[in-house]
Chains A and B, each alone.
Chain A
Amino acid sequence: MSNLLEVSNLSKTFSSSGGPFRRARTMHAVNDVSFDLPKGRVVGVVGESGCGKSTLARLILRLIEPTKGTLRFDGEDLRAKTSAQMRDLRAHMQMVFQDPYSAIDPRYTIERAVLEPFIVQGVKPSGGGAAQVEDLLNMVGLNPGLADRFPHQISGGQKQRVGIARALALRPSLLVLDEPTASLDVSVQAQIIGLLEQLRDELGLTYLFISHDLSLVQYFCDEILVMYLGRVVEVLPDTNRQACHPYTITLMNSTFVPDPKQRRVIRPLEGEVPSPFDLKPGCAFADRCPQVNEICRTETPELSKHSGHLVACHNPI
């Protein structure tokens, strides 16, 4: 299986400007992230709020510029591309956003929203706009009769389908899905996940699926990246794999299982995510980690193989 996307040592820092009484500070939103996304796979990204999931997504689509690292899409080095070349390439990689309410411009009809990518790319839809819109709406299970409605006239689930139709307009091979069901009810979520499964099978799509819902990721994804404070700390190559990183384990223990038969004492992770500004040396999880020892405070653990998969921890379990 060849890789559609190869991400190496990708980093993004944001800095806050200093002032007379403030130091300029640097924040590592995404820190030295490497992974491969094989064609046709569904790779999930999980982690707490602020750990850098959305920043990673935007870096991959080059909606923002990385501070460091390389990105290869279908064998081509994305960072070597000019912006014109990048625009053509972007047709092959599209994003679906969390909030269907803000992702679609309320002033435009559904038809216009779905045609947006053609307008941005400056290409004519094959077979004409109306036919394309009908085709795309059908593809995501929407009645083409909705084309002349406005976003406020349709439901949240329908809006998210419009978001997916728009992302599919230019026939991409990669879809980056940033919490596509987070604002939806569970029955609507099930409809959207069903649609994504069907599209993957029919169109051979590859997905990067960002979510904070572990049960959903375990159901939908083939492989899971666990992020903490900008870094990938563990890569679970399949969803039955036993986690070894103390953070992944606590994250799983503090996740509610949607099954009253599997009630358990939840051991929530105490303390809060440390500030991503001016990171201390060593492992970022050290202050909350039950396994911590001296080396953790001085040396940042790198991803390395442990019981057959990648873990970034000095004392994996």
Chain B
Amino acid sequence: MLEVKDLAVAFGSVAPLSGVTFSLAKGETLGIVGESGSGKSLTAMSIMGLLSMSDGRVTAGSIVFDGQELTTLAEPAYCKLRGGRIGLITQNPMTSLDPLKKIGTQVDSVAILHLGMSKKAARANTVDILATLRIPEPALICERYPHQMSGGMKQRIVIAMALAADPDLLIADEPTTALDVTVQAQIIRLLDDLVKQRDLALLLITHDMSVVAQTCDKVVVMYAGRAIEQGPVLEIFDDPQHPYTQALVGCIPRDLGDGEKLTSIPGTVPTVLNYPSGCKFHPRCARNQDICTTEQPELVRNGDSAVACHFAGAST
């Protein structure tokens, strides 16, 4: 459904993203994890063709969606995809909702625009979707305004909008970060059900390793703007090959016996302005050798997994 290869993005002379490669099939959930500033949202924006809004551009690589190259796609065609076959859910529901319009009108407009539905058919579609999202009294809710709803409800409305045009790919950028644990569980559960019921492809961006552990089939780990490791979720958690992934997994409070401590990674994440040479993790890496400071390791594929490290494998 989606194939991203060697994607690189620049804003003027700043190049925050490079070497991003992954693929996603129908009915599959792919998680993108990484710390703040690692390039997760930029990856999503590149796929949605929204970089030009902030003067960014794709400088290398390709994004193929259902056989169609997106990096060279003209804006009118992109417009049809966005909100149509590709749905987007953002962290803050208010960036997607208009505070002055009724919920029903907002969700209807998606199907009217992308599927050419009549107003009446669109409303029926909206009520249907709200009901599958287990929103009580969907017809009534359509008459409400966003401010009359809780954060969790608003996020469900945003999901309804993303689903209204029956997309094939859903991109969710931190969809539950602003929500309470119990509401988060409801939303993630919903997304999970949707993937199964509608055979959707879901790209789930999050920094919450618990969400990844519970929902994703595959995971891409990003560090300093690069995809540094990917593979099936079980392997990423239990047999990570990249020193950064190994350290990251050690930071998660799980499976610890009495007296066992969390491990932590020394130092801090570099920013675009001070990306190190060679392997971007080398100043913090215990396995670092001379070659690491000069040569950027390539992402090397091995079956379902891939890792970018000169000394991948054996733990330190």
Residue ranges of A at the interface with B (Cβ–Cβ < 8 Å): 48-49, 155-158, 185-191, 193-194, 197, 212-216, 218-220, 250-251, 254-263, 266, 268-270, 272
Contact = CB atoms under 8 A, between A and B. Distances in A.
Interface in B32-56: 35-36
Interface stretch (B57-65, B80-88, B249-257): B249-257
A254 B251 contact: no
A241 B253 CA distance: 18
Nearest to B216: A260
Given A256-B210, A259-B255, A260-B234, A268 B185 contact: yes
B305 interface: no
B194 interface: no
Interface stretch (B118-126, B137-145, B163-171, B261-269): B261-269
A258 B234 contact: no
Given A218-B253, A270-B186, A186 B248 contact: yes
B254 A215 contact: yes
Contacts of A268: 182, 185-186, 189
B281 to A, nearest CB: 12
Contacts of A49: 180
B251 A260 contact: no
A123 B224 CA distance: 44
B253 A256 contact: no
B181 A255 contact: yes
Interface residues of B, number: 42
Given A190-B263, A257-B214, A212 B180 contact: yes
Given A191-B264, A194-B261, A269 B255 contact: no
Contacts of B255: 259
A26 B167 CA distance: 46
Residue of B181, B186, B256, B264 with highest tally of chain A CB at under 10 A: B181
A186 B213 contact: no
B136 to A, nearest CB: 9
A48 B180 contact: yes
B312 to A, nearest CB: 19
Residue of A155, A187, A259, A261 with highest tally of chain B CB at under 10 A: A187
Contacts of A212: 180-181
A42 to B, nearest CB: 14
Interface string B268-283: 1100000000000000
Given A186-B248, A260-B214, 8 more contacts: A186-B35, A186-B209, A190-B250, A215-B253, A254-B186, A257-B210, A261-B238, A268-B185
6 contacts: A48-B181, A187-B251, A219-B253, A220-B253, A257-B214, A258-B252
B263 A257 contact: no
B207 A256 contact: no
Contact of B252 (A186, A191, A218): A186
A254 B185 contact: yes
Contacts of B181: 48, 212-214, 251, 254-255
Contact of A260 (B183, B213, B265, B269): B213
Contact of A48 (B35, B182, B186, B207): B182
A262 B209 CA distance: 13
A254 B176 CA distance: 14
A158 B182 contact: no
A219 B256 CA distance: 8
B11 interface: no
Contacts of A189: 251
Interface string B174-195: 0000001111111011000000
B13 interface: no
A263 B214 contact: yes
A254 B182 contact: yes
Contact of B207 (A186, A213, A214): A186
